[in-house]
Amino acid sequence: MKITCIAHTDVGNQMYIISQAINRYTNHKARCITNTEMYLKFPTDIYYPTADKSEVKNVLEDSDFYIYSQYPIRYPEHRVILNRNNFIVALYGSHARDNRQFLLTQFLKYEFVFVSRPDISYCNFIPTIIIPNSIDFSMYPERVYTENQTMRICHSPTVREVKDTDYFLEIVKKLQKKYPVEVELIENTTWKECIERKKNCDITFDHLGKVEKIYGGNAYEGWVFSQPVLGSISPFVYVYYPTCPIINSTRDTLEENLENLLKNPDLIWEEGKKGRKYVYDTHSSSETIKKWIKLIEYVRER
């Protein structure tokens, strides 16, 4: 089977990672078409604005199945005729939250099959099938351990207000009066530079659930580098990820939870190991792709 993953913007690089996993771990073949490039500059396969349009046409014509990120996209090179058996839509973040009524209409009227992570901000409104976001561990550099006297906390917000960045910085400023700690604040840079800066940090802070109720890329990248992650997630997440090792925090508990790590370096090591195992077992593309292929088989046969 030939599968094409298509994204206007490839949120979290998921369409590219899924396409690569299909090629690497299954007997099927996949390509990925991306329409716009984020400032993160994720890896891509076919970047539509500069691509050979005859290649785009051939890929679309030859495909047996389509996975769209956020919504189906039309191309002038070839009009894909969609039906209930040949496509899936993967939902992520603000697009799903901001368009819940429209997406529900698509589900009811056209029998869309939606895939998502367990984000309660829209999963309780739009019928979705839960598949964890995928990580390709080969894309990450090795962490180099050093004897740092100063603990480094990584935080890489896309939107500060959404990620509770200012409050987090206030808490760290208070803790700096008692502990040698600094913040690695990563903003407006490429994904490659971002992970290079993340890899030698000791702790990751994600967010406090002001908008999102699930962990994001910042969290699972922290776990990739064996860092304990502080964040805030809904109990709904534990229905699907019961072993999630996030140190669940609120505005009332963030300072206490951070301080507990800073004064117990062995705990940083223990929580980091748990996170590394969890993210590999749950998010490794070699595992998540098995679920994607079974879902594709179901959609084709339903």
Those residues whose C-beta lies under 8 Å from the C-beta of residue 219, and which sit 6 or more positions away, are 204, 206, 229, 231, 246
Say what the pLDDT of residue 35 is. 95
Nearest of 228, 229, 268, 232 to residue 249 by alpha carbon: 232
Q: Are 153 and 165 in contact (CB under 8 A)?
A: no
Nearest of 242, 251, 230 to residue 281 by alpha carbon: 242
* Ramachandran assignment for 275, one of left (phi > 0), alpha (psi -120 to 50 degrees), beta (any other): alpha
Say what the pLDDT of residue 123 is. 83
Residues of the chain with pLDDT under 50: none
Q: Which amino acid is at 69?
A: S
Residues facing residue 116 across a β-bridge = 130
pTM over 0.85: yes
Say what the pLDDT of residue 159 is. 86
Full set of structural domains in the chain with CATH? 2-134+284-301 (3.40.50.2000), 138-283 (3.40.50.2000)
The Cα 30–Cα 182 span in angstroms is: 43
